């Protein structure tokens, strides 16, 4: 379950975080004249529709790649340990 959430939520949020970091670190910073602190980017001016479309496309691409290569990295299904064999191996040691 956590894998599915990470494969969907993180790619969906990445464009928004990238846009915010781009606005913070690119160009000349805006400084508040009263406090002298750097002003954060105005989120009202963010292209929310484009960022959302980019996030959804990135999420679909991530899930597609995961489903395509998932079998390459997984092992055989889990098999419970046979208690009799385990006890025999323990007696031998």
Question: Residue 15: is it exposed, middle or buried by C-beta count within 10 angstroms (0-12/13-18/19+)?
Answer: buried
Quick: pLDDT tens for 4-23.
788 889 999 999 999 988 88
* pTM (two decimals): 0.64
Phi and psi angles of residue 38, each rounded to the nearest 5 degrees, phi first: -75, 135
**What residue spans define the domains of the chain?**
2-92
Is 59 in contact with 4 (CB distance < 8 Å)? no
Quick: pLDDT tens for 35-85.
888 877 777 788 999 999 999 999 999 989 888 887 776 666 777 778 888
């Amino acid at each position: 379950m956590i894998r599915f959430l990470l494969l969907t939520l993180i790619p969906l949020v990445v464009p928004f975080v990238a846009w915010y970091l781009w606005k913070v670190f690119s160009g000349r910073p805006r400084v508040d004249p009263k406090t002298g602190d750097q002003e954060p980017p105005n989120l009202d001016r963010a292209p929310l529709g484009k960022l959302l479309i980019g996030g959804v496309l990135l999420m679909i691409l991530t899930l597609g790649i995961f489903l395509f290569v998932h079998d390459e990295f997984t092992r055989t299904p889990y098999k419970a340990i046979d208690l009799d064999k385990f006890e025999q191996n323990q007696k031998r040691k």
